[in-house]
Amino acid sequence: MRRKLSRFLVSLVLIALVVIMLYPMYWTVINSLKTNSQLFNDSWSFPKVRNWRNYQMAWNYGVKNYIINSFLVTLGTLLVVISVGALGAYGFSRFEFKGKSVLFLLVLGGLMLSPEVSLIPLFGFIQNLGLYDSHLGLVIIYTAFRLPFTIFLLVSYFVSIPHDIEESAYIDGCNSFQVFLKVMLPLSRPIIAGTTIFQSLWVWNEFLFALVFLESDVLKTIPVGLMTFQSKLATNWTGLLASLVIASLPIVTIFLLMRKQFIRGITLGAVKG
Amino acid sequence: MVTIHYKSKIAPYVYIAPAVLLIVVFVYNPLVQNVILSTFEWSGISRDKVFVGLENYRYLFEYDVFWTAFKNNMWYAVISLVFQVGLALVLAAVLEEKFFRKFQPFLTTVYFLPSVLSVTIVGFLWGFIYNPGFGLLNQFLRLIGLASWAQPWLANSKMAMYSIIAVSQWQYTGYCMVFFLIAIQNIPQERYEAAEVDGAGPLAKFLHITLPGVKEMLLVVSIFTINGAFRVFNIVEVMTQGGPNNSTQVLGSLLYQEAFWYDRMGLASAISTVIFAITLAITIFQLKTSRSETL
């Protein structure tokens, strides 16, 4: 009896949490289909007439652009961070060389350094390099800051790959770069997929660097673009709600479709470490 | 092991060079420069820098807003520990109970969902919930007869910081829970079975098996929660920009504003260095603790 009661109470708490997590999202969706005055008068009910104009407006007046920008920056960063990271991890895990442990410590030390700490000198540095207000500048900085973790994850996977397949590739006359391409990369697909998911989420949602290093509205990524969009909209609240829904859709869809891989990707580092 | 790998002495350097260079140039170099720049008084507009020694730090430690920000970061850390570590762990333990396990995939998905959204989206969303006019929270309080609690959450300098901290708990409790789920799943099932044979209830099992079993993960999640609390910036920038009356200022937002609103770059660099020192101290503490445990 006591067991049943406590089970019932715990279930109530779990359900309450489900409501707390989902209701705000549901509320956003239903109100994004209303007009401002409907929002003020009755924000609880499901809209009888669905007003898609908010969506058209949000999409055409900026959100489309922000999504494209986020997509470009995320894709660019991933390409560079995964290839540079995989090469680095290959070097660290498969070769003996002078200074290896110092250099590896240097790379791992980067794990402790947060973007905030380098922000101000980077601001000047990026301007001097002519990379201010460009996607390339963001991609380079994102890459540099995500490399330590990428290398950490890849090295811990690479060392678990047995050497014999490589040996036979070498005997077949491959050089070390061909071994990397033909042996290491194909064997590391799972960790590369996991790292990709982890890093995409980080890059897609990055805020501080994007805020400081991008100036033109046409270049902005979603997290900072929405800030500009909000001030442009002034008091068109339901328009802003629509823009939030559109901006959430890509990542929420990917998450719901690949829930398992997604969570595995996010938790990679902690499981290893 | 066969020695074919050593054939080329240059190859390994070629492989690691791009990564090492990028990290040194864009991560370490600005860090060192930041420490140096914090001893100068300078602005972003002019090129002149005046060496002032530790003056920026002295100013900072006598600056009341700095202490408000520091206190807010501390609250952020404490409250986050309660929810993102404490509650998240309890939730994970509950979802691993036999009865609740069949709901685990659904509940994990729902609880984790807010963490995939960008902080900007979450910040705006909760701005709507806290809105004094049509906001969900005040309407809900009126509905359940607590109308006197209704208030302009983000405009009240006593409540604003807690309102913001609450949003982060909403966003990240489920995220942290996932880490504990994995840790609990790694505890050998026999331990639980043996305890059940001895007649242990859920609480006893939690205290004597789950808690010791997830000790390491507990440390890892606590550290990244505390670290995150001292680096928080986005949510404040989106929801209140440190206001009203600096009541929601955190070190991150203060750093940003001193640099990019007031152009006091030296002071901003000093704040950066303080954030660096705090997070470094936390990390060293973590390394020390985890090492002493393995010895």
Partner B contacted by A26 (CB < 8 A):
no
Residue B200's pLDDT is 86
Contact B139 A244 (CB under 8 A): no
Contact B125 A24 (CB under 8 A): yes
pLDDT digits (tens, 9 = 90+) for B61-106: 999 999 999 999 999 999 999 999 999 999 999 999 989 999 999 9
* A211 contacts on B by Cβ (under 8 Å): 237, 256
The predicted model gives B232-261 an average pLDDT of 95
Measured CA to CA, the distance from residue A165 to residue B198 in angstroms comes to: 50
With cut-offs at 50, 70 and 90, classify the pLDDT of residue B31: very high
In this predicted structure, the answer to whether residue B1 has a pLDDT above a threshold of 60 is: no
3-state secondary structure A10-37: HHHHHHHHHHHHHHHHHHHHHHCCCCHH
Contact A21 B114 (CB under 8 A): yes
Between positions 74 and 93 of B, the ones with CB within 8 A of A are 91
Q: Is A3 exposed, middle or buried (0-12, 13-18, 19+ CB in 10 A)?
A: exposed
Fold of B62-294: MetI-like fold (1.10.3720)
Partner A contacted by B289 (CB < 8 A):
no
In this predicted structure, the answer to whether residue B3 has a pLDDT above a threshold of 60 is: no
Between positions 15 and 44 of B, the ones with CB within 8 A of A are 15-16, 18-20, 22-31, 33-34, 37, 44
Measured CA to CA, the distance from residue A165 to residue B2 in angstroms comes to: 12
Contact A140 B5 (CB under 8 A): no
pLDDT digits (tens, 9 = 90+) for B8-30: 788 999 999 999 999 999 999 99
In this predicted structure, the answer to whether residue B235 has a pLDDT above a threshold of 60 is: yes
Domains of chain A: 52-272 (1.10.3720.10)
- State pTM to two decimals: 0.92
How high is the mean pLDDT of chain A?
A: 91
- Give strand pairing partners of B51: B40
Q: Is A235 exposed, middle or buried (0-12, 13-18, 19+ CB in 10 A)?
A: exposed
Structure tokens at B206: 């939690």
pLDDT digits (tens, 9 = 90+) for A212-226: 999 999 999 999 999
Residue B291's pLDDT is 62
Query: How many percent of chain A have pLDDT more than 90?
Result: 69
The predicted model gives A134-144 an average pLDDT of 97
With cut-offs at 50, 70 and 90, classify the pLDDT of residue A153: very high
Per-domain boundaries in chain B: 62-294
Nearest to B107 among A18, A39, A163 (CB): A18
Helix residue spans in chain B (DSSP H): 11-23, 29-37, 55-61, 64-80, 88-95, 98-101, 104-112, 119-130, 136-143, 160-185, 189-197, 202-205, 211-213, 215-231, 234-239, 251-260, 265-294
- Give strand pairing partners of B40: B51
| Residues in Cβ contact with A86 at an 8 Å cutoff, skipping those fewer than 6 apart | A154, A180, A184, A185, A188, A192
Predicted-complex ipTM score = 0.92
pLDDT digits (tens, 9 = 90+) for B33-60: 999 999 999 887 777 888 998 999 999 9
* B217 contacts on A by Cβ (under 8 Å): 270
Structure tokens at B227: 């670290």
Contact between residue A32 and residue A245 where contact means Cβ atoms under 8 Å apart:
yes
Structure tokens at B107: 């509940």
Measured CA to CA, the distance from residue B170 to residue B120 in angstroms comes to: 14
With cut-offs at 50, 70 and 90, classify the pLDDT of residue B294: very low
Distances in Å between the Cα of B275 and the Cα atoms of A118, B52, B119, B255 are: 11, 20, 21, 10
Residue B2's pLDDT is 44
Nearest to B11 among A113, A176, A273 (CB): A176
Residue B5's pLDDT is 52
pLDDT digits (tens, 9 = 90+) for B147-175: 889 999 999 999 999 999 999 999 999 99
pLDDT digits (tens, 9 = 90+) for B97-149: 989 999 999 999 999 999 999 999 999 999 999 998 888 899 899 989 998 89
The residue of B10, B111, B121, B144 whose CB has the most chain A CBs within 10 angstroms, and thus the best one to mutate to test that interface, is B121
Partner A contacted by B261 (CB < 8 A):
no
Measured CA to CA, the distance from residue B137 to residue A24 in angstroms comes to: 10
Structure tokens at B187: 């505890």
Residue B295's pLDDT is 37
Nearest to A222 among B18, B118, B178 (CB): B118
* B14 contacts on A by Cβ (under 8 Å): 91
Contact A244 B227 (CB under 8 A): no
* A7 contacts on B by Cβ (under 8 Å): 99
Contact B279 A112 (CB under 8 A): yes
* B273 contacts on A by Cβ (under 8 Å): 117
Q: Which pairing describes strands B49-51 and B40-42: parallel, antiparallel, or unpaired?
A: antiparallel
With cut-offs at 50, 70 and 90, classify the pLDDT of residue B7: low
Residue B23's pLDDT is 97
* B129 contacts on A by Cβ (under 8 Å): 24, 27
Cis peptide before A24 (omega within 30 of 0): no
Name the 3-class secondary structure at B62: coil
Query: How many percent of chain B have pLDDT more than 90?
Result: 76
- Which helix (H) or strand (E) element contains residue B144? none
Read off the DSSP letter of residue B122: H
Partner A contacted by B285 (CB < 8 A):
no
* A91 contacts on B by Cβ (under 8 Å): 11-16
